[in-house]
């Protein structure tokens, strides 16, 4: 049995103030008092626990000693939240507060064997994929096959206007036959992504277990027409079964909004490569990222606090993606064995009420799958809140939040540009691109800045961005947030 | 509410960056920026420049130690803000920057007159930019309204190291140094 958590007993966050502790204690003690609950054994026990909790938490020294023994709020995961402000000022207008959530695998996880993979590569073999692109995809696929561990399963589906299962749940070994099948793949036909996804989904589902990391990697260079909606519905289905979808877009023509949507729906990621030469390194990276997952399908189900509203969430590690809010669930992604899952959230806090002591930003629970645990599912309550009151001496906000925001701001500027253009507001879009270029230059990103300025110019002449420039800017500003910069996003 | 000094957009309290134009809205004391050494804030230039942490840790040294050499084949441009027009600097290693007016005998190498220089308080010979051993430096030539590097006023008649990305303000006119 786990030792009593005094904070939970009193229903308090770990940074509760002395006032809050007192109030919570009085309320609980009144409710559970033996005089009011004659003969109720459970209430009597609860009453004792509440007494004990208050004894410790109301004594600053005892509380500090107790705090030091507290485990992470989430079982088997190191967890930390940093806020942009320690205390929110009591003001009669709305204000912003940022929360940076970091989930880290325990150090011991590094010595554990990696979880087995159950992957399907869904490869676009439409006419445009012919030549060099297809050659690279083939050779990379064969190489990935060689890296399979005994328990891994790999499926391969190709699609154009129809889908074909080239490989179904193959395991290590039997390379000769598989390799020759892969070499037989020929480009030709249109791009109907739904067909490929559906076949890939069936393959992954067939071999899916809670012990496996189940994932679809879609490789495409084209736009799909008319089946986007069905594809997104399929992504929702995949999500129900803990199957992630990641997209690799090659060249300029693919639909980034659509691929991003597939990925954000399922907790996957989107990658962009301009030249076929980079396909290999990106697939390698994705493969190793997946096989280094400690926990996956990390979700935060929350009900918005009354006092605040989530504006957006952005994943910063292990890869960079905006996170979509689906109802009241945020699919955060996966925790790598040797790194962290890090998510930045922006909350708009409503004007505070007189005498209000704390604002709840979001409350709910975090859940995740840790394949190596006997029972893979881990669930823990998570409440995000801030005290309200006199702010002490003004201190700098946490550096990592400021740094992340300086770059998220650029990504969001880029996004605003798309919105401006969509609503015909070319003047604003141009001005925003010029601002973006200035900030990029100031950050030393001169190549990306040049692309931005070129597009600002183009925009004035054609009222639109080039497909290529638009992708460079989007994925370029996104990759600014990566710890190790990937150098592909420059022309 | 916080009013963005750059574009006047209103952001809620607690915002760090302007969502309209991306300008930074907060002053950071411990973090490395160029405005640290001189807390007095000039009224003119409102551009914040943030360096990535990799460029050094000591803000006082940031301007003199960190910069990379400028490659010999690179062309330096001055980008006039906010319009974004580029002025290439070519054929010389030292350039005077200013504006022109009738009957002026010494003309600046870089004439900012087309950019509203007079109204923005640029002097006729306002500043000089020098390229030497792959290093750029800027000197204020005793201008009336002063010269700022990333919002920090520089003393006249002394060269100060600058680098690509820096924003120079001559009076109220801002230009950014860029490299091609
Ligand atoms: Zn602004």
Question: SS3 string of A301-341?
Answer: EEEECCCEEEEEEEEEECCCEEECEECCEEEEEEEECCCEE
pLDDT tens by residue, B75-88: 888 888 877 788 88
Give the integer Cα–Cα distance in Å for B112 and B80. Answer: 9
* Residues that place a CB less than 5 A from ion ligand 1: B 4, 6-7, 9, 18, 20-21, 23
Within 8 A of B26 by CB-CB distance, chain A residues are: 397, 402
What confidence category does residue A223 fall into, taking pLDDT thresholds of 50, 70 and 90? confident
| Nearest residue to A291 (alpha-carbon basis) of A331, A318, A262 | A318
Please report the residues numbered 8 through 67 in chain B whose beta carbons come closer than 8 angstroms to any beta carbon of chain A: 11-24, 26, 28-31, 47, 49-53, 55
Note the pLDDT of residue B141. Answer: 87
Of all residues in chain A, the one with the smallest CA distance to B31 is A399
What does DSSP assign to residue B107? Answer: P
Within 8 A of B1 by CB-CB distance, chain A residues are: 93
A28 and A123 fall within a common domain: no
**Residue B22 near residue A439, CB atoms below 8 Å:** yes
- How far is the centre of ligand 1, averaged over its atoms, from the C-alpha of A94 (Å)? 18
Task: Look at residues A35, A50, A71 and tell me which one is the last residue of a structural domain.
Answer: A71
CATH architecture of B40-179: Sandwich (2.60)
Of all residues in chain A, the one with the smallest CA distance to B51 is A443
Which residues lie below 8 Å from residue A210, measured CB to CB, with a gap of 6+? A242, A369, A371, A376, A377
pLDDT tens by residue, A239-256: 999 999 999 999 888 889
CATH number for the domain harbouring residue A34: 1.10.287.110
| Nearest residue to A13 (alpha-carbon basis) of A358, A390, A392 | A358
pLDDT tens by residue, A154-165: 999 999 888 999
Burial of A225 (0-12, 13-18, 19+ CB in 10 A): exposed
Task: Please tell me which residue, A223 or B32, carries the higher pLDDT value.
Answer: A223
A46 and A154 fall within a common domain: no
Facing residue for A444 by CB, picked from B14, B52, B83 = B52
Within 8 A of A432 by CB-CB distance, chain B residues are: 20-21
What confidence category does residue B45 fall into, taking pLDDT thresholds of 50, 70 and 90? very low
What confidence category does residue A152 fall into, taking pLDDT thresholds of 50, 70 and 90? very high
Are B176 and A85 a contacting pair at CB < 8 A?
no
**Residue A348 near residue A311, CB atoms below 8 Å:** yes
> Could you write out the DSSP letters of every residue in A3-36?
PP-HHHHHT--TT--HHHHHHHHHHHHHHH-TTT
Note the pLDDT of residue B30. Answer: 45
Task: Check if A484 contacts B (Cβ < 8 Å).
Answer: no
Which residues lie below 8 Å from residue B173, measured CB to CB, with a gap of 6+? B80, B112, B115, B116, B117, B120, B121, B122
The answer to whether residue A375 sits within a structural domain is: no
C-alpha angle with apex A256: A333 to A122, nearest 5 degrees? Answer: 70
The answer to whether residue A342 sits within a structural domain is: no
Task: Check if B79 contacts A (Cβ < 8 Å).
Answer: yes
Torsion angles phi and psi, residue A141, rounded to 5: -60, -45
Which tokens sit at B45?
Answer: 């230039």
Give the integer Cα–Cα distance in Å for B172 and A328. Answer: 48
The answer to whether residue A409 sits within a structural domain is: yes
A219 and A287 fall within a common domain: yes
A222 and A278 fall within a common domain: yes
**Residue B13 near residue A96, CB atoms below 8 Å:** yes
Torsion angles phi and psi, residue B169, rounded to 5: -120, 125
Which tokens sit at B61?
Answer: 């040294």
A67 and A123 fall within a common domain: no
Are B16 and A397 a contacting pair at CB < 8 A?
yes
What confidence category does residue A142 fall into, taking pLDDT thresholds of 50, 70 and 90? confident
Positive/negative CA dihedral, B90, B91, B94, B100? negative
Best of B13, B169, B175 to disrupt the A interface (most A CBs within 10 Å) is B13
Is a pLDDT exceeding 70 seen at residue A226?
A: yes
Give the integer Cα–Cα distance in Å for B140 and B146. Answer: 7
Which tokens sit at A148?
Answer: 């399979």
Task: Check if B148 contacts A (Cβ < 8 Å).
Answer: no
Is a pLDDT exceeding 70 seen at residue B61?
A: no
The answer to whether residue A341 sits within a structural domain is: no
Note the pLDDT of residue A483. Answer: 66
CA distances from A222 to A217, A225, A251 (A): 15, 10, 8
Facing residue for B50 by CB, picked from A95, A97, A443 = A443
| Nearest residue to A10 (alpha-carbon basis) of A55, A67, A73 | A55
Facing residue for B14 by CB, picked from A85, A416, A453 = A85
| Nearest residue to B13 (alpha-carbon basis) of A84, A350, A96, A356 | A96
Within 8 A of A94 by CB-CB distance, chain B residues are: 12-13
Are B19 and A412 a contacting pair at CB < 8 A?
yes
Helix intervals (H) in chain B: 59-65
CATH number for the domain harbouring residue A222: 3.40.50.410
Best of B8, B22, B83, B177 to disrupt the A interface (most A CBs within 10 Å) is B22
**Residue A112 near residue A372, CB atoms below 8 Å:** yes
* Domains of chain B by residue range: 1-35, 40-179
How many CB pairs lie under 8 A apart between chains A and B?
105
- How far is the centre of ligand 1, averaged over its atoms, from the C-alpha of A236 (Å)? 38
- How far is the centre of ligand 1, averaged over its atoms, from the C-alpha of B23 (Å)? 5
Within 8 A of B18 by CB-CB distance, chain A residues are: 409
The complex's ipTM works out to 0.81
pLDDT tens by residue, A48-66: 889 999 999 999 898 888 8
Give the integer Cα–Cα distance in Å for A326 and A242. Answer: 15
Rg over CA atoms, chain A: 26
Within 8 A of A436 by CB-CB distance, chain B residues are: 22
Task: Look at residues A276, A291, A306 and tell me which one is the last residue of a structural domain.
Answer: A291
What confidence category does residue A305 fall into, taking pLDDT thresholds of 50, 70 and 90? low
Is a pLDDT exceeding 80 seen at residue B32?
A: no
Across all residues in chain A, what is the average pLDDT? 87
Are B22 and A436 a contacting pair at CB < 8 A?
yes
Is a pLDDT exceeding 70 seen at residue A10?
A: yes
Note the pLDDT of residue A304. Answer: 67
C-alpha angle with apex B97: B93 to B101, nearest 5 degrees? Answer: 135
Number of CB atoms found within 10 A of residue A279's CB = 21
Q: Distance (Å) from the C-alpha of residue B30 to the closest C-alpha of chain A? A: 7
Task: Check if A442 contacts B (Cβ < 8 Å).
Answer: yes
Task: Please tell me which residue, B72 or B30, carries the higher pLDDT value.
Answer: B72
A410 and A282 fall within a common domain: no
Q: Domain range for residue A171?
A: 117-291
Note the pLDDT of residue A420. Answer: 94
| Nearest residue to B150 (alpha-carbon basis) of B134, B135, B161 | B161
Give the integer Cα–Cα distance in Å for A168 and A199. Answer: 10
Give the integer Cα–Cα distance in Å for A84 and A450. Answer: 33
Task: Look at residues A239, A264, A291 and tell me which one is the last residue of a structural domain.
Answer: A291
């Amino acid at each position: 049995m786990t030792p009593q958590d005094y904070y939970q007993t009193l229903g308090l966050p770990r940074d509760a103030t002395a006032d809050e502790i007192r109030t919570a204690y009085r309320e609980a003690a009144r409710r559970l008092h033996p005089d009011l609950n004659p003969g109720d054994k459970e209430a009597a026990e609860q009453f004792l626990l509440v007494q004990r909790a208050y004894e410790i938490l109301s004594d600053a020294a005892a509380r500090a000693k107790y705090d030091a023994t507290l485990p992470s709020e989430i079982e088997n995961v190191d967890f930390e939240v940093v806020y942009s402000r320690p205390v929110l000022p009591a003001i009669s207008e709305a204000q912003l507060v940022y929360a940076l959530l970091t989930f880290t695998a325990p150090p011991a996880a590094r010595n554990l064997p990696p979880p087995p993979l159950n992957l399907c590569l869904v490869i676009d073999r439409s006419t445009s994929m012919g030549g060099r692109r297809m050659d690279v995809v083939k050779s990379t696929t064969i190489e990935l096959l060689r890296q399979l561990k005994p328990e891994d399963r790999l499926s391969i589906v190709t699609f154009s206007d129809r889908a074909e299962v080239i490989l179904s749940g193959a395991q290590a070994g039997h390379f000769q036959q598989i390799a020759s099948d892969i070499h037989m793949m020929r480009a030709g036909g249109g791009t109907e992504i739904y067909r490929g996804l559906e076949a890939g989904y069936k393959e992954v589902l067939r071999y899916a277990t809670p012990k496996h990391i189940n994932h679809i990697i879609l490789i495409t260079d084209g736009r799909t027409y008319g089946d986007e909606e069905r594809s997104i519905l399929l992504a929702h289905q995949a999500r129900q079964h803990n199957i992630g979808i990641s997209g690799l877009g090659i060249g300029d023509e693919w639909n980034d909004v659509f691929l991003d949507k597939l990925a954000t729906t399922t907790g996957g990621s989107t990658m962009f490569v301009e030249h076929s030469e980079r396909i290999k390194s990106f697939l390698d990276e994705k493969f190793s990222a997946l096989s280094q997952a400690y926990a996956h399908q990390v979700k935060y189900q929350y009900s918005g606090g009354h006092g605040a509203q989530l504006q957006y969430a952005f994943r910063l590690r292990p890869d960079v993606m905006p996170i979509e809010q689906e109802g009241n669930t945020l699919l955060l992604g996966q925790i790598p064995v040797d790194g962290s899952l890090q998510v930045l959230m922006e909350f708009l806090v409503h004007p505070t009420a007189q005498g209000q002591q704390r604002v709840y930003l979001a409350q709910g629970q975090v859940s995740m799958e840790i394949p190596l645990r006997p029972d893979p599912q881990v669930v823990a309550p998570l409440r995000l809140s801030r005290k309200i009151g006199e702010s002490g001496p003004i201190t700098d906000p946490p550096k990592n939040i400021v740094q992340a925001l300086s770059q998220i701001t650029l990504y969001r500027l880029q996004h605003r540009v798309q919105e401006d253009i969509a609503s015909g507001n070319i003047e604003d879009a141009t001005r925003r691109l010029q601002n973006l270029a200035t900030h990029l230059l100031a950050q030393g990103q001169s190549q990306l800045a040049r692309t931005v300025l070129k597009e600002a110019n183009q925009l004035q002449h054609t009222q639109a961005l080039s497909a290529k420039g638009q992708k460079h800017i989007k994925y370029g500003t996104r990759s600014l947030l990566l710890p190790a910069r990937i150098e592909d996003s420059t022309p | 509410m916080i009013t963005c000094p750059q574009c006047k957009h209103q952001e809620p309290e607690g915002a760090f960056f302007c969502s309209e134009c991306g300008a930074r809205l907060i002053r950071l004391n411990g973090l490395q920026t160029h405005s640290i050494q001189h807390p007095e804030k000039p009224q003119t230039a409102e551009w914040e420049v943030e360096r990535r942490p990799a460029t050094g840790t000591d803000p006082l040294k940031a301007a003199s130690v960190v910069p990379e050499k400028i490659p010999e084949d690179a062309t330096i441009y001055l980008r006039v803000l906010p319009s974004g027009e580029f002025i290439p600097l070519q054929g010389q290693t030292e350039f005077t920057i200013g504006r022109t007016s009738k009957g002026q005998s010494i003309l600046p190498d870089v004439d900012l007159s087309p950019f509203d220089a007079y109204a923005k308080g640029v002097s006729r010979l306002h500043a000089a930019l020098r390229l030497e051993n792959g290093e750029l430096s800027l000197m204020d030539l005793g201008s009336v309204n002063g010269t700022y590097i990333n919002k920090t006023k520089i003393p006249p008649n002394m060269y100060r190291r600058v680098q690509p990305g820096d924003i120079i303000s001559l009076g109220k006119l801002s230009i950014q140094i860029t490299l091609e």
